[in-house]
Amino acid sequence: MAINIDNFLKSKKRNSKMMDFQDLVHVDGVSVSTASANLYGNKRDDLVMFYFRSGANYASVYTQSKIVSENIKWNLNLKTKKIKALLVNTRNANAFTGKKGYQGLKEIAEEISIRLTSKQKEDEEIPDKIKFNQILFGCTGTIGETFPSEKIKQSIPALIDKIKYTQNKYIWMKAALGMMTTDLSPKLAMEECKIGNTNIKIYGLAKGSGMIFPNMATTLGYIFTDADLSSSILQKLLKKNIETTFNAISCDGDTSTNDMVAIFSTSMAKNPIIKNFNDPKLKDFDESLHSVLLNLSKRIAADGEGASKFITVKVNRSKTQEEAKKIAFSISNSALVKTAIAGEDPNWGRVIMAIGKSNVNINLNKLAIRFGSIKIIEKVILINSYNEYEVAEYMKNDKIDIIVDIYTGNKSFTSFTMDLTKKYIEINSDYRS
């Protein structure tokens, strides 16, 4: 069955299904459209365009993989102050496609620039000439397959014809669904805040369910705000907040070639000008941005391929945050820990194993471990009141918390992951069929 909003809503009544998501409405300066280029061989939406009528300041963070997709190369090569459009395609990663893949993006960008320039002439009192190097790309899907640039290029007129200058929850949902690959659910989040006395919106969409590990992975995340913030301020805000959100999730320990999280500022809110990253007027925006990023990243981890349980691993009282992070991910990425949780087996010995292999020095005389509120290890020994039946009952929950205290300092780090199920193997063994 093709992925579209009608099919998504079939499993429940529309109103019930839509209640699962926040009420994203309109962000001034952002236009959204979706279309099918028939990349999946059916009519599901596989192209999503975000159009910024007056341009948008932007900042991005990308995969740290040493092998990157052609669209990442394209984005990194852009030397423009304002972005006019972001085009996202699914089904094809445009990775390991060489010069043809890169040239395909250039041809698509040129087509978009011509069509959007024409639209500017129709719709704007003072039209802009939109340049091909003002177009940003997000690609996701299979690595190594020929990039379907002709199919995408032929779909651009329909995509631009469907541009909506005002949005509602339904349109944002269509965009989130259009970005999905193996995801089971769309991912949307929003916050409203203030810069000075000016009301600000922050909306976010993301996709990702497999090949998830920092620094990000098969993850596309896009944040839209009407705030008036420079690209340099946006970059600092994004880099700061990504570390404890998108860079805190792991589904399978694998990092993709296409990871990308970007934020776009339309400047329509006319808030007080912010020149300094440390300006106290940014505090509310900073916290709200973190909330949106954290909401989206948790949704990605919870929607991990075949996942039946959402797992939070919190490491406390570490000498450094980096050491806490190493331990947290050693636990989160352990196939043995994840399979035990999938089987609802209270095998805390696997957590001990994962802590040990992290190669971080710990205070064995003080080490403490909890599953949820249940104490298991205290001062490096099993507590006298340990009741395996109680822990086994806890393991039946959909959400599992593992808390580790190592007592070498006062730093902490929290990672988010999912269990490893038979379904994960099924999905990834059949991924291309």
Of the candidates 73, 134, 80, 75, the one whose C-alpha atom is nearest the C-alpha of residue 99 is 73
Q: What is the DSSP letter of 313?
A: E
Write the CA distances from 107 to 110, 177, 285, integer angstroms.
5, 26, 37
Contact by Cβ (8 Å): 225, 30: no
Q: CA–CA separation, 37 vs 45, rounded Å?
A: 8
Q: What is the DSSP letter of 316?
A: E
Q: CA–CA separation, 250 vs 185, rounded Å?
A: 17
Known catalytic membership, residue 421? no
Contact by Cβ (8 Å): 375, 383: yes
* Catalytic residue (one of 218, 225, 245, 257): 218
Q: CA–CA separation, 238 vs 232, rounded Å?
A: 10
State the burial class of residue 117 (Cβ atoms within 10 Å of its Cβ: 0-12, 13-18, 19+).
Answer: middle
Can the peptide bond before residue 215 be classed as cis, meaning omega within 30 degrees of 0? yes
Catalytic residue list: 218
